[in-house]
Every structure is written in structure tokens, then in C-alpha cells.
Amino acid sequence: MKVLLLGGTAEARALAAALHPAVEVISSLAGRVPDPALPVGAVRVGGFGGIDGLRRWLRDQRVDAVVDATHPFAATITAHAAAACAELGVPHLILARPAWEPGDALRVASNTEAAKTVADQHFARVFLTSGRSGVAAFTDSAAWFLIRVVTAPDPDTLPRHHRLLLSRGPYHYDAEYALLRTHRIDALVTKNSGGAMTRAKLDAAAALGVPVVMVDRPPLPDGATTVGSVEAAAEWVATLADLRR
Ligand code: NAP
């Protein structure tokens, strides 16, 4: 049984560890970040070349199943995997970590809408955590931004007033609380990534009464089989492997 595990997340690494070596797993990373945390087992890095490339790769490698454990906002690879698997009849599972409860966050559909909300609400000191590619939506914003990203965004996309914080989670409550206070943050912008690794900022914002602008997740492909935990994904693979025996 050979599984392609689309990764780039802590959940994907945990799933690779749960399956390896009983199941042959090839983890796939996009190759966006230098020095990524690597899962156990075989790893390939880089795009497949669109749906056609992915379809070809799945066929050439004789892959028996695909588990998509990419980030909830990695919508392109998720759509490609769903389409390629449907076309080839390859069993396909999405491991999507549960979303955060938005509570009384200002919910928006995109970073562009988040930037509009920041302007409309006259937020002045914004903690921007919606990812490197999301920064471009804020280029023309008048507010000051504390921008936390794993790798630096294109300098042309940075808003005029900002401070860049390059770091990688997990993050913890006390440090997040101190960060919001130190920088006198008056709004937090975040994607609804879900999971424990980056949720402390929400708890710190709630404790300080800092409003949250939350970008909703893109929808999952129609009809996709989806689970919310590493354990459930491992069980899905195990059941499939049993059926194939
Ligand atoms: P995306 O927009 O859905 O994908 C863009 C292209 O990158 C895809 O068409 C594919 O290229 C390639 N790609 C993406 N994930 C890949 C993977 N796991 N293996 C091989 N190729 C992959 O993805 P993204 O939002 O840029 O995210 C890239 C990666 O970073 C994902 O694997 C994701 O799990 C991880 N990540 C993303 C976020 C986020 O906020 N988006 C946060 C943390 C981690 P081809 O078309 O050439 O195949």
C-alpha cells in the first residue's frame, strides 16, 4: 500500500509518524520554506505541475491512496488532489483540522476584505498573522502593522508602516499576551487556521479586549471524504490497507 501524503503541516508529520513504516508513505512538501520540519519516511519537494502533473505522478508512482493533510488555506493543491484522484479512481481523504470558533470576531472572506475592515474600523495598530501571501492585500493600508510570518514577504508588498517579525510557531499564551501589550495592538488579523499551535493569540486578544478580524476558510471540494484528526486519518488508511490484503 503506497500513500501520497500532501503535507506541510504538523498534522501531516504526525500522520507520517503514525503510518511509517507499516505503510509506504511519500510525504510531499511544496518547498516554500527554507529548512522545513521534515516528516519521517520518504519525502518529495516541489509542485507537481498542476492537475495534469499530479495525475501523471500518481499514475507513474502507482499510488494507492492520497491523504491531503495540507493547511486549510492551501486550496489549490487541495482542489488539484481531489480532481486528480476522482479522475483516476484513487481513494482520497482530506485531513482538515477543526476550525476555530469565531466567537465575536469580525468574519471576512478574504485578506482583501480584512484590509477593508481594518480601514472601515479605523484600526491603527494591527497584528497581522494571515501569512506571507496575505500581506499584499494590506500594502496600501494606512495603519501600522506588526507582521508575523515564517519567511519574509516580497518587500514591494509591505505596507508603509510596519515591523516584520520572522518566526515559526508554536506560540504560547504569555508571550502572545506580552506581544499584544508591548506593541499596543488594537486589532488582530488572522486566518481561521484552527489547531492549537497558533491559537494562543486568540486567547490573548480576548483577554485584552482586542478585536479579531478572521478570514474564513475556503470551502472544501464537493463530496470529499474528510476527517478532523490524525487518528481518524490513520484509521482510514489502516482500513484501506486491510481491504487490500
Ligand atoms: P496552494 O496555494 O494550495 O498551492 C499552490 C501550488 O503549490 C500547488 O498548485 C502546487 O503546485 C504546490 N503545492 C502546494 N502544496 C503542495 C504540497 N504539499 N506538495 C507539493 N506541491 C504543493 O498552497 P499554499 O497555500 O501556497 O501552501 C503551500 C504549502 O504550505 C502547503 O503544502 C501547505 O500545507 C503549507 N502551508 C500553507 C499555509 C497557508 O496558510 N496557506 C500555512 C502553513 C503551511 P503544482 O500545481 O505545481 O502541483
Domain boundaries, the chain: 2-98+220-243, 106-215
Q: Which atom of ligand 1 is nearest to the CA of 12?
A: 34
Distance 167 CA to ligand 1 centre (A): 19
Query: Which percentage of the chain shows pLDDT scores above 90?
Result: 97
Q: CA 241, CA 245: separation in Å to the nearest integer? A: 6
What is the reported pLDDT for 33? Answer: 87
- Ligand 1, CB within 6 Å, residue ranges: 6-9, 28-30, 32, 47-50, 53-54, 70-71, 73-77, 80, 131
- Say what the pTM is: 0.96
Could you name the CATH architecture of 2-98+220-243? 3-Layer(aba) Sandwich (3.40)
Average pLDDT over residues 38-57: 98
Q: Which three cell numbers stand for residue 127?
A: 497584528
Q: What is the pLDDT of residue 34?
A: 85
Residue 174 cell numbers, joined: 504569555
How buried is 67 (Cβ within 10 angstroms: 0-12 exposed, 13-18 middle, 19+ buried)? buried
pLDDT value at 196 more than 90: yes
Mean pLDDT to the nearest integer, 90-101: 98
CB 4 within 8 A of CB 63: yes
Q: How far does residue 8's CA lie from ligand 1's centre (Å)?
A: 8
Instruction: Please name the fold of domain 106-215.
Output: Rossmann fold (3.40.50)
User: Which of ligand 1's atoms lies nearest the C-alpha of 70?
Assistant: 34
Question: How close is the Cα of 123 to the center of ligand 1, in Å?
Answer: 31
What is the arithmetic mean of pLDDT over 210-225? 97
Domains 2-98+220-243 and 106-215 share a fold: yes
Looking at residue 88, its pLDDT comes to: 98
DSSP string over 17-55: HHHTTTSEEEEEE---SSSPPPPSSEEEES--SHHHHHH
Q: Which of the four pLDDT bands, split at 50, 70 and 90, describes residue 245? A: confident
Q: Is the pLDDT of residue 236 over 90?
A: yes
